[in-house]
Amino acid sequence: MKDDFDKKAVRVFKALGDPNRYSILKLLIEKGELSCADFDGKTTLSKPAMSHHYRILENAALIDVRKEGLHYYMKANIETLEKFVPSFIETHPSKKNR
């Protein structure tokens, strides 16, 4: 577990081992880039709770976040997915982000 690859892998798995974060990422893969507001109808969680989950996904390099005006736009990081959880892309195969 000293290996950097392994540490990153554990962080990725931990991030995905929560149903809320799993669903967030799944939706991002399906829809492309979304803002926090786009998740409003799709969850019962409060904004702070969602914010917490975005942060964990970002720290695992599973999503990239970009601020533009009032909005934070998020999208799945395909590189990390391909490296650690390629099955995630294959099984949710509308990854037509460009």
Partner DNA sequence: CCATTAGTTCCAAAGTTTTAAAACTACTTA
Partner DNA sequence: TAAGTAGTTTTAAAACTTTGGAACTAATGG
Which positions touch its own copies (CB under 8 A)? 1, 5-7, 9-11, 13-19, 22-23, 26, 83-88, 91, 98
Least Å from the CB of residue 58 to DNA: 9
Question: In terms of CB distance, is 23 or 35 closer to its own copies?
Answer: 23
- 76 to 1, 32, 33, 82, 89: CA distances (angstroms): 26, 7, 8, 11, 10
Question: In terms of CB distance, is 29 or 63 closer to DNA?
Answer: 63
The 74-93 site mask, x for binding DNA (CB under 7 A), equals --------------------
Binder to DNA among 55, 59, 82, 91 (CB under 7 A)? 55
User: Is the CB of residue 48 less than 8 Å from the CB of residue 59?
Assistant: no
Q: Which one of the spans 2-10, 23-31, 51-59, 88-96 is the region binding DNA (CB under 7 A)?
A: 51-59
d(CA 89, CA 70): 30
User: Is the CB of residue 71 less than 8 Å from the CB of residue 39?
Assistant: no
Q: Which helix (H) or strand (E) element contains residue 24?
A: helix 19-31
